[in-house]
């Protein structure tokens, strides 16, 4: 059960730098070093545009650079990873040819038109300023370049729980914006709660063209939808879609 005051206290504590630094050791960012998962994500990214001969940027790699290592092996000219938190140690980054860059989550620290491909797996839902991140991706991508993003629209607070709680998939949508931010802003389980239509609008308004898209729908939510009042304000598609993958192109100048 979610006890809102406890969530708020937890979040406020994580606003204290030494505490958040300590807790970061316990984060699990996703793929980690699961080689099957690395291959799966690499296959998704390179399905329509292989990285051979390309300059590739990954947004939010978390604890693994293995997907970019795979791209280098496949002939990428350069691979760069950008994150807001250091999950890969300096010792590890010294051993690789990948540029690992940290920034403040606002302006991407790259020149305009520097990359041919931008890849991102379950990171866009965590960005604190989605419109800026999308606009920045557009800026640093070359004309004709591609962005592939898998975005997980579920409430991450309940992932990994035993027994699983599929009915809580969109629990994050119960709360007004100000309260949700007070509960989550400093936490790794923060999600910006944008729905499928919001992402499509943001990317297209920034200038991207959608070349291909795939969505996953939660069957549990589909069945329970009439009894979930907090989902009634969304379109059917936004209320039931829990993962989207977008293949986007920056048009030629």
Ligand X SMILES: C[S@@+](CC[C@H](N)C(=O)[O-])C[C@H]1O[C@@H](n2cnc3c(N)ncnc32)[C@H](O)[C@@H]1O
The residues that touch ligand X, with contacts defined as CB under 6 A, are 29-31, 59-62, 82-85, 87, 105, 121-123, 126-127, 133
Closest approach of Cβ 252 to ligand X, in Å?
Answer: 27
Closer Cβ to ligand X, 82 or 140, answer by number: 82
Q: What is the DSSP string of 83-97?
A: ESS--S-HHHHHTSS
Closer Cβ to ligand X, 74 or 85, answer by number: 85
Closest approach of Cβ 62 to ligand X, in Å?
Answer: 3
Closest approach of Cβ 154 to ligand X, in Å?
Answer: 12
Q: In terms of Cα–Cα distance, which of 74, 133, 141, 145 is closest to 108?
A: 133
Closest approach of Cβ 82 to ligand X, in Å?
Answer: 6
Closer Cβ to ligand X, 79 or 231, answer by number: 79
d(CA 176, CA 131): 20
Alpha carbon 96 to its chain's center = 23
User: How many other C-beta atoms are found inside a 10 Å radius of the C-beta of residue 134?
Assistant: 24
d(CA 175, CA 6): 15
Closer Cβ to ligand X, 60 or 145, answer by number: 60
Closer Cβ to ligand X, 60 or 154, answer by number: 60
Closest approach of Cβ 101 to ligand X, in Å?
Answer: 10
The single-letter DSSP state of residue 26 is: T
219 within 8 A of 46, measured Cβ to Cβ: no
- Which structure tokens are listed for 101? 């860059």
Closer Cβ to ligand X, 30 or 231, answer by number: 30
Closest approach of Cβ 227 to ligand X, in Å?
Answer: 30
d(CA 169, CA 159): 9
Which residue's entry shows tokens 């579920």? 154
User: How many other C-beta atoms are found inside a 10 Å radius of the C-beta of residue 72?
Assistant: 17
Residue 61: beta bridge partners? none
């Amino acid at each position: 059960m979610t006890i809102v005051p406890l969530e708020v206290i937890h979040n406020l504590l994580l606003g204290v730098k030494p505490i958040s630094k300590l807790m970061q050791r316990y984060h699990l960012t996703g793929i980690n070093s699961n080689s099957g998962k690395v291959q799966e994500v690499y296959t998704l990214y390179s399905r329509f545009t292989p990285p051979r001969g390309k300059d590739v940027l990954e947004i939010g790699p978390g604890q693994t650079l293995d997907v970019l290592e795979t791209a280098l092996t496949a002939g990428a000219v350069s691979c760069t990873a950008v994150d807001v938190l250091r999950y890969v140690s300096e010792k590890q980054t010294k051993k690789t040819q990948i540029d690992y860059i940290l920034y403040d989550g606002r302006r991407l620290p790259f020149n305009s038109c520097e990359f041919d491909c931008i890849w991102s797996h379950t990171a866009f839902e965590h960005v604190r300023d989605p419109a800026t991140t999308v606009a920045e991706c557009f800026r640093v991508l070359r004309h004709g370049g591609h962005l592939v993003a898998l975005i997980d629209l579920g409430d991450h607070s309940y992932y990994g729980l035993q027994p699983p709680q599929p009915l809580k998939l969109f629990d994050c949508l119960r709360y007004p914006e100000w309260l949700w931010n007070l509960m989550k802003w400093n936490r790794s389980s923060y999600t910006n709660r944008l729905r499928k239509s919001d992402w499509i609008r943001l990317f297209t308004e920034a200038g991207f063209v959608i070349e291909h898209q795939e969505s996953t729908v939660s069957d549990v939510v589909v069945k329970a939808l009439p009894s979930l009042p907090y989902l009634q304000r969304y379109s059917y598609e936004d209320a039931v879609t829990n993962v989207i993958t977008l293949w986007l192109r920056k048009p030629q100048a």
